[in-house]
Amino acid sequence: MPLVNRFADLLPEITEWRRDLHQNPELLFDVQRTAGVVADKLREFGVDEVVEGIGRTGVVGIINGKDNSSGNVIGLRADMDALPIHEASGVPHASTTDGKMHACGHDGHTAMLLGAAKYLSETRNFSGKVAVIFQPAEEGGGGGNEMVQDGMMDRFGIKEVYGMHNWPGMEIGKFAIRPGSIMAAADQFDIVVTGKGGHAAAPHRGIDPTVIASQITLALQSIVSRNIDPLENAVISVTSFNTDTISYNVIPQTVSIKGTVRTLSSEVRDQIKERMETVVEHTAKSMDATAELEYHYGYPVTVNSDKQTAFAAGIAEKVSGPDNVDADIAPVMGAEDFSYMLEARPGAFIFMGNGDTALLHHPEYDFNDEAIPHGCSYWVQLVEQAMPA
Ligand code: NI
């Protein structure tokens, strides 16, 4: 049971939708046109219930199967938003808006889930219900979290959720997944070190925050190497370091440091935050300065449930053959806000090959339409196998 034949017929139509979305990118929660297109199409397909405005601009469609004897409701999720990047792909369907582009393939994710919704509405060869979830603001903004906070899971009785992301550099038709942590938590921090400014020729009369902030930067690097279990994974990167002076002969009053923390477990994440608080406060104190840490929690770790991941890998094998599925890839230190849906319900997030294209978030990136039949077949077979009619 490889690719679903129907998607060979639907490919030109789904490709047309995808390219229309690509030409009309929208950012964060401001995806009104995209959400409107999605809702109109779902109604046109005869989807039983279409609800707009969930998590501000998210859309959910409910498709009833032949019967409801399984009592199950499976959520399939796509993201709709684009990025603030000026497109340089040179394709005929390039963005028509300067400074906005679909550089992460969310146009492809949306089009594939629409294709699956069309097929599932036509055939209804399953028992139970499918919730097709279209979320805004994946690229910062946490639209997935907003939909969960809006009560989406309880309102539609969703019991499991599945997500998918295209992956440049992986061949078309290949899938990759792993149980447990598959993508990192991405947090940010701001530190302000306050000393006592003065003349650079008389450092003993001031308290130099530059030296203290440098000590803090180095001490932060010892957290991963000295406090975290070497078998765990973590990154602390200082990415910005600024004093409040531009002079050659002035010791500044303050230094601001910014950076990011990436972790693959919530325990390590909490441990790093605690250690940072101690290191920042006491390093400054030991040198008669003060320092404040603001730690901003970003997207949590994306954690795949064991049972649903094994099931999803099995479906991918049915679609593409066992040789084309890696069921134990290494985790990725990027983040994904499908993590919030996986915190709310068991499920699995899978990567799908986008072929030899530019990388995600690159100005020359374009979603590969050849991947459409693979993604659509994965979605509909997942539904039909999880909830057989
Ligand atoms: Ni993305």
Distance 22 CA to ligand 1 centre (A): 14
Q: 50 alpha carbon to ligand 1 midpoint, in Å?
A: 24
pLDDT tens string, the chain, 389 residues long: the values are 588 899 999 999 999 999 999 999 999 999 999 999 999 999 999 999 999 999 999 999 999 999 988 899 999 999 999 999 999 999 999 999 999 999 999 999 999 999 999 999 999 999 999 999 999 999 999 999 999 999 999 999 999 999 999 999 999 999 999 999 999 999 999 999 999 999 999 999 999 999 999 999 999 999 999 999 999 999 999 999 999 999 999 999 999 999 999 999 999 999 999 999 999 999 999 999 999 999 999 999 999 999 999 999 999 999 999 999 999 999 999 999 999 999 999 999 999 999 999 999 999 999 999 999 999 999 999 999 999 99
| Ligand 1 center from residue 180 Cα (angstroms) | 20
Distance from the alpha carbon of residue 63 to the mean position of ligand 1, in angstroms: 25
165 Cα to the center of ligand 1, angstroms: 7
For residue 78, the CA-to-ligand 1 centroid distance in Å is 10
C-alpha 249 – ligand 1 centre gap (Å): 46
The pTM score is 0.92
Instruction: Compute the distance from residue 206 Cα to the ligand 1 centre, in Å.
Output: 48
Distance in Å, CA 83 to ligand 1 centroid = 9
Which domains are assigned to the chain? 6-183+301-386 (3.40.630.10), 185-299 (3.30.70.360)
Which protein residues have their CB within 5 A of the ion that is ligand 1? 104
pLDDT at 333: 92
* CA 164–ligand 1 middle distance (angstroms): 9
Distance in Å, CA 237 to ligand 1 centroid: 22
What's the chain look like in SS3? CCCCCHHHHHHHHHHHHHHHHHHCCCECCCCHHHHHHHHHHHHHHCCCEEEEEECCCEEEEEEECCECCCCCEEEEEEECCEECCCCCCCCCCCCCCCCCECCCCHHHHHHHHHHHHHHHHHHCCEECEEEEEEECCCCCCCHHHHHHHCCHHHHCCCCEEEEEEEECCCCCCCEECCCEEEECEEEEEEEEEECECEECCCHHHCECHHHHHHHHHHHHHHHHHHHCCCCCCEEEEEEEEEECCCCCCEECCEEEEEEEEEECCHHHHHHHHHHHHHHHHHHHHHCCCEEEEEEECCCCCEEECHHHHHHHHHHHHHHHCHHHEECCCCCECCCCCCHHHHHHCCEEEEEEECCCCCCCCCCCCCCCHHHHHHHHHHHHHHHHHHCEC
Q: Kindly give the distance from the C-alpha atom of residue 40 to the centroid of ligand 1, in angstroms, as a whole number.
A: 24
